[in-house]
Amino acid sequence: MYRDENADIPPDVLRQREAKWLDMLNSWDKWMAKKHKKVKLRCQKGIPPSLRGRAWLYLSGGKVKKEQNQGKFQELDSQPGDPKWLDVIEKDLHRQFPFHEMFVARGGHGQQDLFRVLKAYTLHRPEEGYCQAQAPIAAVLLMHMPAEDAFWGLVQICEKYLPGYYSAGLEAIQLDGEILFALLKRVSPVAHRHLKKYKIDPILYMTEWFMCAFSRTLPWASVLRVWDMFFCEGVKIIFRVGLVLLKCMLGSQEKLKACQGQYETMELLRSIEPQYMQEAFLVQEVSSTHTLMSLLPPLQLFISYYFTCLST
């Protein structure tokens, strides 16, 4: 599952990419202010594994948050926390990437750090508490950075990238589900008609995709590449991945012959064909001009729909 996504890239090309990323990270503000398009292109190509954690923290704004709140994580880490959340977090620890070397041992360092990060977040946002979908997010961050950095990465995802996703009631995820469905009508009318025909509500198939940022859905190499783009470009990357998967799985009459019903369709979406989740294919589809252009027409619809929903 955790195949090296750079196994096929020549070492000299990887070294060149590392040198370019080091140069960017060492003059980050300049790059973000004047060469953001170049940063975006490099994120689409994939961040070098040795610099991924640092790059994610910079891209997300977690580095700035951490600097603005010196000692905050240590303060939260030292507090006991609310027993109501601690019990739930404890039960979820062993479910996160159980075959990854960091989390394979019960009570090991990986699980301990995961507990610390999730507990700290419940203290940081007591009105929000803990949501199970935060655990895989925090686990992926911990695979790439120390606990304090992972905490600020989680804060940024919860507050900046996916605001409202982890609150009780799931209003934000339901709203984004409706927006995804509206976009799907433009991207793949066939898939849209099929889901509408069988009354398959977006929240039935996209909740785990979006709330876990595909970390529990895609192969590992694809997860990392999607997150590289997600940290750079925001939630629209999550929308695009969802649209690509829906179009690939339900976008032709031929594919729909085998799923004439709600149950069959849901089973199909729970077992997406591997070729559509493969790293090179998925990244090309998500970042290609064709995909980008297909999403441009509904942008105004997207915005007006969003504000209509907010005002009702």
What percentage of residues in the chain have a pLDDT greater than 90? 79
Span 124-131, mean pLDDT?
Answer: 94
Answer yes or no: are the C-beta atoms of 154 and 121 closer than 8 Å: yes
DSSP codes of every residue in the chain: ----TTTTS-HHHHHHHHHHHHHHHHTHHHHHHH-HHHHHHHHHH---GGGHHHHHHHHHTHHHHHHHTTTHHHHHHTS---HHHHHHHHHHGGGSSTTSTTTSSTTSHHHHHHHHHHHHHHHHSTTT---TTHHHHHHHHHTTS-HHHHHHHHHHIIIIISTTTTSTT-HHHHHHHHHHHHHHHHH-HHHHHHHHHTT--HHHHHHHHHHTTTTTTS-HHHHHHHHHHHHHH-THHHHHHHHHHHHHHHSSHHHHTT--SHHHHHHHHHS--HHHH-HHHHHHHHHSHHHHHHHSTTHHHHHHHHHHHHH-
Burial of 9 (0-12, 13-18, 19+ CB in 10 A): middle
What percentage of residues in the chain have a pLDDT greater than 70? 90
Span 280-308, mean pLDDT?
Answer: 61
pLDDT beyond 80 at 5: no
Confidence of residue 287 (pLDDT cuts 50, 70, 90): confident
CATH number of 69-161: 1.10.8.270
Q: What does the domain layout of the chain look like in residue ranges?
A: 11-50, 69-161, 171-311
pLDDT beyond 90 at 295: no
Confidence of residue 312 (pLDDT cuts 50, 70, 90): very low
Alpha-carbon distance of 254 to 222, in angstroms, equals 27
Span 158-186, mean pLDDT?
Answer: 92
Answer yes or no: are the C-beta atoms of 253 and 206 closer than 8 Å: no
Supply the mean pLDDT for the chain. 90
Joined tokens for residue 252: 């032709």
State the pTM of this model. Answer: 0.90
pLDDT confidence of residue 296: 46
- CATH superfamily, domain at 171-311: Ypt/Rab-GAP domain of gyp1p, domain 3 (1.10.472.80)
Predicted confidence (pLDDT) per residue in 21-64, tens digit: 999 999 999 999 899 899 999 999 999 999 999 999 999 999 99
Integer angstrom CA distances of residue 133 from 206, 250, 255: 13, 26, 31
Span 195-215, mean pLDDT?
Answer: 96
Predicted confidence (pLDDT) per residue in 257-270, tens digit: 888 899 999 999 99
Span 68-72, mean pLDDT?
Answer: 97
Confidence of residue 289 (pLDDT cuts 50, 70, 90): very low
135: amino acid identity, one letter: A
pLDDT confidence of residue 69: 97
pLDDT beyond 70 at 227: yes
